[in-house]
Amino acid sequence: MSIPETGNAPLWVQTLTVTTADQTHALGAALAEVLRAGDLLVLTGELGAGKTTFTQGLGEGLGVREGIISPTFVLVRIHPNLPGGPRPGGPDLVHVDAYRLGSASEIDDIDLENTLDSAVTVVEWGRDRVEHLTESRLEVELHRQLGGAAPGHLHAGGDSTGPGSAAPGSEAPVLDFESEDDDEPRTIIIRGFGPRWAEQPVLAAEGIS
């Protein structure tokens, strides 16, 4: 059952700067500490911005099975919680790539509602596609400061129009923190929507400003 959008304005916005892949990973792990089953994250960022690295940090913090990669060629990957991990009995991680999905109705076709209440769901390129699934969400934007699209230069669907982007339907690989730009600064913007995120979480990760 669809839940109507309660408003387009975020309750709060937090802007952070990271300079390495390790810091991006650490930020994801720190955010995972405040996540619980039913949480939805909408992840946006041009190629190489660090989306996969951030999601790998989330997975580590949630204590799910390793092997998180970009789901570009598989729409949905489910990473189950590990009994021997840091959060035994915690939620699974559902990792979705909505880049090739053109509308909210196509999101409905992959039945995310079946796992939404029992997992943390991360949807890359999910803006304007998944807001109807739940009344609360976190939107996370990652931006490269050298090349790519600068903050605010994403079109309404949340897709980058900057250099390095691939057209929907193309087979270009998703790049993420290549070795030559590992120390390139990234700006990460987190926005909280809905009653679940009425209060801004405190994210403690070393070296992140």
Q: What are phi and psi of 108, to 5 degrees?
A: -60, -30
Which one, of 49, 8, 53, lies nearest residue 141 by Cα?
Answer: 49
Q: What is the pLDDT of residue 207?
A: 67
Burial zone of 16 (CB within 10 Å; 0-12 exposed, 13-18 middle, 19+ buried): middle
Strands (DSSP E) contained in the chain are: 12-18, 40-45, 76-79, 92-97, 119-124, 137-144, 186-193
Q: How many CB atoms lie within 10 A of CB 22?
A: 16
Note the pLDDT tens digit of each residue in 66-115: 999 877 677 899 999 999 998 999 999 999 999 888 788 888 888 898 99
Has residue 158 got a pLDDT over 60? no
- pLDDT band with cut points at 50, 70 and 90 for residue 133: very high
Q: What gap in Å lies between CA 53 and CA 48, rounded to an integer?
A: 10
Q: What is the pLDDT of residue 154?
A: 38
Q: What is the pLDDT of residue 29?
A: 96
Query: Which of 41-50, 101-110, 116-125, 172-181 has the least mean pLDDT?
Result: 172-181
Has residue 15 got a pLDDT over 80? yes
Q: Mean pLDDT score of the chain, rounded to an integer?
A: 81
Has residue 157 got a pLDDT over 60? no
Q: What is the pLDDT of residue 201?
A: 94
CATH: 3.40.50.300, 3.20.20.70, 3.30.720.110, 1.10.3720.10. Which one for 12-196? 3.40.50.300
- Better-scored residue on pLDDT, 88 or 157: 88
